[in-house]
Amino acid sequence: MAADFQHLTLVRSDADGVAWLILDRLDASTNTLSRDVVDELAAAFDVLEKAPPQGLVIASAKPAGFIAGADIEEFTRIDSAEAARKLVGRGWELFNWLARLPFPTLALIRGHCIGGGLELALACRYRVVVDEPATKLALPEVMLGIVPAWGGMKRLPETIGAPAALDLMLTGRSVDARRAKQLGLADECVPLRVAENAARMLVKSGQSRHKPPLALRPLNGPLKGLVAARARKQVAAKAPREHYPAPYAILDIWEKFGGNALAVPADHPASLESIFRLPNAQNLIRVFFLQERLKGFGKPAGEASDFAPRHVHVVGAGVMGGDIAALCAWTGMTVTLQDRDIVRIAPAVARAAQFFERKARGDKAAKARQVRFALDRLIPDPHGHGLARADVVIEAIFEDLEAKRALFADVERGAKPDAVLATNTSSLRIEDIATALSTPARLVGIHFFNPVAKMPLVEVVAGAESDERLLGRAAVFVRRLDKLPLPVKSAPGFLVNAVLAPYMLEALRAVEEGIAPETVDAALVAFGMPIGPVELVDTVGLDIALAAGRALAGQGAEPPPRLAALVAGGDLGKKTGQGYYPWVDGKAQKGAVGDIPNGLADRIVAPLLAAARRCVDDGVVADADLADAGVIFGTGFAPFTGGPLHYVASQHETSVVAAPAVGDAIVHAR
């Protein structure tokens, strides 16, 4: 017997008495818990409660996954605290209803199970996850500046224990199927071929709901206060409450209100009223949509729709080239890595092995297999034999125009006619390099940032003649690496370096004036930056910062005296152990922070804001939203502001303080 709805299907089996509720949101590639879907779920629960089955399995008909959470578009339409309470109340009551249904319930999870999707699954008695790489479970609300208010703050600690639950809720990180089973978040982790049978057997098993071990239960009871206090200290070290109130709200709601956001008084800092009164949540939701827009550039479409890169050839086995090659190999592509000889390639392979070991998951044998297979895909190729088979060719040699021209003249002759030819240059114009090609339109830029594995943004650079089809393929390749492709035009510094350079320059100017590096960095971290600008210069490398500045400014410009002196003395920052700071075990050794002068952060940020505006005006990026996206994901610019240009608009500024042009970057001093 079946009952049909618009977004789901309810099917009852006469053979075993198990009902199946299949979610398939109409006209959408992904299941989200929009208001109409929530209403249909309530109607289905009503039907089931009146005629109870022996068990209920909730599953998805979408190839993309289980449920991707609430409909974020609905959050953007919340215009009052009352509206926020209604939205939260709808999900809270629905999942409480699911939890008290008078028969066993089970969520069969394949693919993503995110936010409200996981809260729905937690309201079920059982959870079965399909053992596939795409299966991911998470409560990422904190990353949107909100809280998992549909039961996650109550049921996740009850299911897996407070320490693991708080870690997931406060970071927003996901776990795969096997880790979910280890945590107790999933009752079973099974291959796809037996998933439905496993669900049938478990939902009728009579097995008790999973609870954390006895030793962990007091941490979700009488010891809550101690756990919460410790967690607050850890959060405070990374995210101040005034910038990111959501993690503090999660802790307060869990500790003091039983995980029920609706029970929090309106005047409490953790209340829904407090969260939605501030612009932080709306700004972080804005960042989410900016991220989705960047992802969209990498979706195969048009002439790039059939592009599936399988073989990448990287020329240059230095830090950047080697790390790009390692990332490509880890994501499943065959990679040939070329340099002058095997001796130059060996360190890159050694670094890749360490990277693979960090990324591998599972037991010892599983990790060993993953590392071995990835290393098998990374092939040292000093003679460049892989060039002729590559779908993507990436040049990552030193920043010398003539050397790059000579290389691409050879690459063009040896590569497949339809291969993407890309340079990883950070400061040279695509047009200038492309003069060496018989078909300059073949060259595009694919500009990674260091460290390659951690930085989410990759600039896809269009030269004046770059082929749009190849640019589309480059963006598809970037998404294959799980990175965010940002289309930019060829211009000095593109977007990210063009905004970073004047920002770092202004910070170094402040140091030249006698303000301690520690004070400068503290001012910008307090503003919301992930790392201070002086420490950033040390991390990038003083020689690289100086050379990039000169390349952007042109020859003859004078650098800040202390920067030039440090480079002349061989003190290049983190990599040599001494720069503006001494470095020990990879960490800057900082002295005491003095009093921060009023307006210091605004002064140092102003050139960045001006440069971002200029990049939009000059057409380096298509619009202000893309500038905001690029600067957030490429520099870590305070996400809670919504991006630099959004920040300017929110401050009701009519103009940005005039700042040095990009040509002044790094190398001019007062």
Catalytic residue among 273, 459, 506, 535: 459
Closest CA to 154 of 266, 253, 263, 226: 253
Q: Is 447 a catalytic residue?
A: yes
Dihedral, CA of residue 516, residue 520, residue 521 and residue 524, to nearest 10: 170
Q: Is 427 a catalytic residue?
A: no
Residue 466 is classified by DSSP as -
Please give the Cα distance from 370 to 359 (Å, whole number).
9
Catalytic residue among 7, 112, 313, 447: 447
Please give the Cα distance from 317 to 340 (Å, whole number).
9
Catalytic residue among 271, 426, 466, 490: 426
Q: Given the structure tokens 């589309």, which residue do they identify?
A: 472
Catalytic residue among 188, 497, 506, 518: 497
Please give the Cα distance from 619 to 626 (Å, whole number).
11
Closest CA to 395 of 486, 489, 478, 312: 312
Dihedral, CA of residue 67, residue 148, residue 629 and residue 176, to nearest 10: -50
β-partners of residue 445 are: 423, 461
Checking DSSP bridges between strand 136-138 and strand 175-176, what pairing results, if any?
antiparallel
Closest CA to 162 of 69, 271, 255, 264: 255
Q: Is 465 a catalytic residue?
A: no
Cβ partners under 8 Å of residue 319, min gap 6:
450
Burial 236-255 (b: 16+ CB within 10 A, else e): eeebeeebbbbbbbbbbbbb
Cα–Cα distances in angstroms (integers) from residue 321 to residues 55, 253, 256, 324, 427, in the given order: 54, 47, 51, 5, 16
Cα–Cα distances in angstroms (integers) from residue 614 to residues 109, 617, 660, 661, in the given order: 47, 5, 11, 9
Please give the Cα distance from 433 to 445 (Å, whole number).
10
Q: Is 426 a catalytic residue?
A: yes
β-partners of residue 128 are: 108, 188
Q: Which residues are catalytic?
A: 426, 447, 459, 497
